[in-house]
Amino acid sequence: MQSTPQRKLVLGSTSVYRRELLERIRLPFSVAAPHVDETPQPGETPVALARRLALAKARAVAEVHPDCIVIGSDQVADLHGQPLGKPGTHERAIAQLQAMRGQTVIFQTAVAVVCLATGFVQEDLAAVKVQFRDLSDTEIEHYLQAEKPYDCAGSAKSEGLGISLLDAIDNDDPTALVGLPLIRTCRMLRAAGLDLLSTGA
């Protein structure tokens, strides 16, 4: 009996962190930039923002690759209901870390999987609670000079030296904080028809 070829997989993201995470499941995939405006809407909560952008990114790439299964993802740092995005600059990163020191920050990481050819659409969200230490200005400056995490929501890389800024992490999907919740992603890819443990994977 001849097996049906699997649909091609596309990661709708230019994030090197998400690409490295997706490589863990050993499925071939390509990468495409989603070209989505990430500006929050007036009054939009961090949860709503992350969910909307993840789905928008997946849909935008799926429009270009309608026969493929497309993953979109977005992460927003949630400080008492206020969204914190990527700082972009050293000064903004200082301000973010100063605001987060001694606080519990929830990193809202949404993921969406879309295939236009089959009409498949699913999305989910992993909320990761992160307790930041009461950091001194000197610690913040030394960390930022060492790691320069200006492309990371919340100005810290937990997979690197940023782990030293934290007191605790509470989540149910270990890779969510880095930028792509792989347990949820794998669940949706299986639902979309991909065999993650086939002999050809």
Secondary structure of the chain as H, E, C letters: CCCCCCCCEEECCCCHHHHHHHHHHCCCEEECCCCCCCCCCCCCCHHHHHHHHHHHHHHHHHHHCCCCEEEEEEEEEEECCEEECCCCCHHHHHHHHHHHCCCEEEEEEEEEEEECCCCEEEEEEEEEEEEECCCCHHHHHHHHHHHCCCCCCCCCCCCCHHHHHEEEEECCCCCHHHCCCHHHHHHHHHHCCCCCCCCCC
Q: Are 47 and 125 spatial neighbours (Cβ–Cβ below 8 Å)?
A: yes
The count of residues in the chain is: 201
Q: Which of 74, 78, 124, 173 is catalytic?
A: 74
- Taking only the tens of pLDDT, the chain with its 201 residues reads 334 568 999 999 989 999 999 999 999 999 999 999 999 999 999 999 999 999 999 999 999 999 999 999 999 999 999 998 889 999 999 999 999 999 999 999 999 999 999 999 999 999 999 999 999 999 999 999 999 999 988 899 998 999 999 999 999 999 999 999 999 999 999 999 999 987 554
Look up the CATH number of domain 9-191: 3.90.950.10
Cα–Cα nearest to 118, from 187, 67, 190? 67
Instruction: Decide if 74 is catalytic.
Output: yes
pTM for the predicted model, two decimal places: 0.91
